[in-house]
Amino acid sequence: MKISLIQMNSGSDKAANLREAAALIERAVAEDAPDWVLLPECFDHMGGDSRLKRMAAERVPDGPAYRLMQELAARHGIFIHAGSILEALENEERIHNTTLVFDRAGREVARYRKIHLFDITAPDGTAYRESAAIKPGDAVVTYGCEGVTVGCSICYDLRFPALFQALAAKGATMIALPAAFTMQTGKDHWDVLCRARAIETETYFCAAAQTGQFEQGGERRQTYGHSLVIDPWGHVVARASDGVGLVSARIDPARVDAVRAMIPVASHRVDLSALSGFPT
């Protein structure tokens, strides 16, 4: 299976972000003819306060980002794992950070809402409070893509290995991580965490990232980029250059089977909760 990862520098102009996403998908189709395309986290809107995020959020399945991804998937006959968008909720101040996936006919085949929310203070003192605007999801999601089972995750989820073990337990052989890692955390943690999740789950790990600056609360913030594809042995097999663009690779399901046969970690896993001394 041929895959393409889209790397973007989204801002607070939703219409401009959607135009750029469409242009990059068209470029991927023209240059690499992928079967499956992955966009980054919040490709439709980055930055702004809670009020601006609510204004940019759309009802699913009726919004412009939803319709655009649906139409592009059907027009080009490809799967589109549409990173994540801001999803408006009925009678709720907060919104969801939501992945939508469309098959070759433009049918929605999966919807995942980000579970772990980015509430941290960075080393430079910058505070991130995603939970002020975002409501967490409550479901572990996989879907079938022509013989490949794809697991869904978003950005900060990367730091919580239990989610990825759950995805592997549900049959995932490839995991998608749309992201918008900060420059400070990305330069130290991005590669090692992505490789760790691939090695632990013995899956292909595909991470499409935001790159460059965006404005948040009147200040400029920097995302790390470096979108990458990692094989089940933990090798980085493709990496995006700096800046907006794309990177493509091939996924071989037989590689997953071979790695799992060499080191069958799933069959060796012990239920630690049954052991004495395990915290409850």
Reported as a pLDDT band with limits 50, 70 and 90, residue 125 is confident
Average pLDDT score, the chain: 95
Indicate if 155 belongs to the active site.
yes
Q: What angle do CA 139, 142, 143 make, to 5 degrees?
A: 135
Q: What is the CA radius of gyration of the chain?
A: 18
Indicate if 41 belongs to the active site.
yes
- What type of residue is 100? L
CB 196 within 8 A of CB 158: no
Indicate if 53 belongs to the active site.
no
In the CATH scheme, what architecture does the domain 2-270 have?
Answer: 4-Layer Sandwich (3.60)
* Candidate list 155, 194, 202, 206, residue with the active-site label: 155
* Candidate list 20, 41, 130, 202, residue with the active-site label: 41
Taking the domains of the chain in order of start, what are their residue ranges? 2-270
pTM of the predicted model, to two decimals? 0.96
Residue percentage of the chain with pLDDT more than 90: 84
Classified as helix, coil or strand, 143 is strand
